[in-house]
Amino acid sequence: MIFSVGHAERDVYDQNPRGSEYLTSGLAQAVTAPSQIFRGALVEYLEWSRKLPPPATFESCQTLQAAPTHRQEKILMNHLKHGALILLFGAAIGCTRQPAHYPVQGRVTFDGKPAANVDVQFHRTGPGLPHTAIPAKSDADGRYTVVSPGTKGILAGEYVVVFSKFAMPDGSPVAADAKPGEVGAVQLLPERYQSVEARVHVVTVEKDLEVDFDLKR
| pTM reported for the whole predicted model | 0.57
User: Would you call 201 helix, strand, or coil by DSSP?
Assistant: coil
The one-letter code for the residue type at 154 is I
The pLDDT-based confidence of 110 (bands split at 50, 70, 90) is very high
The stretch 203-212 carries a mean pLDDT of: 97
* Nearest residue to 30 (alpha-carbon basis) of 106, 110, 87, 114: 87
CATH architecture entry for 101-215: Sandwich (2.60)
- What is the arithmetic mean of pLDDT over 130-151? 94
pLDDT band at residue 133 under the 50/70/90 scheme: very high
Percent of the chain, pLDDT > 70?
Answer: 56
Distance CA 169, CA 159 (A): 32
Chain-centroid distance, C-alpha 217: 41
Helix/strand/coil (H/E/C) assignment for every residue in 56-121: HHCCCHHHHCCCCCHHHHHHHHHHHHHHHHHHHHHHHHHCCCCCCEECEEEEEEECCEECCCCEEE
The number of CA neighbours under 13 Å toward the Cβ of 206 is 1
Is the pLDDT at 29 greater than 60? The verdict is no
For the chain, the domains span 7-94, 101-215
| Residue 142 or 29, more confident | 142
Strands 186-187 and 154-155: unpaired
Contact present, 18 and 77 (Cβ < 8 Å)? no
